[in-house]
Amino acid sequence: MTKIKLVKKFTKLQNKKLQSNRLFFKTAALVKSTAVFILTVTVVFSTSGCTPQAEKLYDEAYKEIESGHFRIALNLLERSADLEKNDKKKTKALTEAARISRFEIQDFDRALRIYRQIILKSQDPRSRFNAQDSLAEVYLENLQNYQQALKELLILEQLDVGAELKEKTKFKIAQAQYLSGNATASLEYIDAAFKMTLADKRPFLKLKAQVLLSLKKYDEALTAYEEIRRMDDRYFAQENLFIATSIVYEEKEDYSSATSYLEKYQDEIEDKSYYELRIKRLKEKLINKPLFKGRRK
């Protein structure tokens, strides 16, 4: 009997010990689960804490843009970009900031700084190319710093961006060379470009005519303009190249041909007041030209 009691007591102790162990492991598992949850929440908030603020600043910037408050919007966009961890969103904010700097408030130095930031930090090749292209355009079109524009464009030319963008870059390089006073180099560059397959020869021919005029190669300039006219007379009219051609004759001091040319194509010239002014000017030059038989005494 005593032996049976001892066995029961031992079994009861074992059961209590087993229950205690189970409770311990349950408690440990609960503590571990709670710790993991707390750690997860902490990580989520620590990694995403900046993004909502960046997005909030970005949204505020667009409200300011809609209200025409461009300088405030610009500051908000730059702050948003500084906080943003996502490369695509950061680049988007910087691109819009650069656009406002250049086109809305014309703070070109700030635009240059932002474009350089995109070039150095963006992970997207196309975004870096566009920023480099815009950088060169600011020097070329806004600041008229043609030498620096040429340097930036030559960097751009080395990038592998496809035939269309490469062609546009080559045109801008030739243009920068011409505007920087190096007409001969520009002409050589244009002629080299013609050896390639160009999607649109017209801008190159137009620039070539301008360069040839600056070099006083009048007949070659007239040939280049006539090639454009035969190629696309609508483009020729839109670009006011009838007037440009008459200027070549005028620079050549062939006022009679300049006048005849304008009169021949007068229906194609939209600005009639300017046309009449040029005709009047050319006829005066024709009358007063030395050794002309109708010269006034």
For residue 182, the enclosing domain spans 144-195
- Cβ(207)–Cβ(244) under 8 Å? no
Total domains in the fold of the chain: 3
pTM of the model: 0.78
pLDDT score of 3:
46
pLDDT score of 265:
96
Same domain, 135 and 151: no
Last residue of a domain, one of 100, 128, 143: 143
Last residue of a domain, one of 161, 195, 229: 195
Instruction: State how far the alpha carbon of 196 is from the alpha carbons of 112, 202, 272, in Å.
Output: 32, 14, 39
Is 82 inside any structural domain? yes
Assigned token pair, 244: 């440009």
Q: Is 6 in a helix, a strand, or coil? A: helix
The number of residues in the chain equals 297
pLDDT score of 35:
45
Residue numbers of the chain with a pLDDT score lower than 50: 1, 3, 5-11, 13, 17-18, 23-25, 27-28, 30-32, 34-50, 294-297
Please report, for the domain that includes residue 210, its CATH number: 1.25.40.10
Which distant-in-sequence residues (6+ apart) come within 8 Å of 93 by Cβ?
54, 58, 61, 77, 78, 80, 81, 84
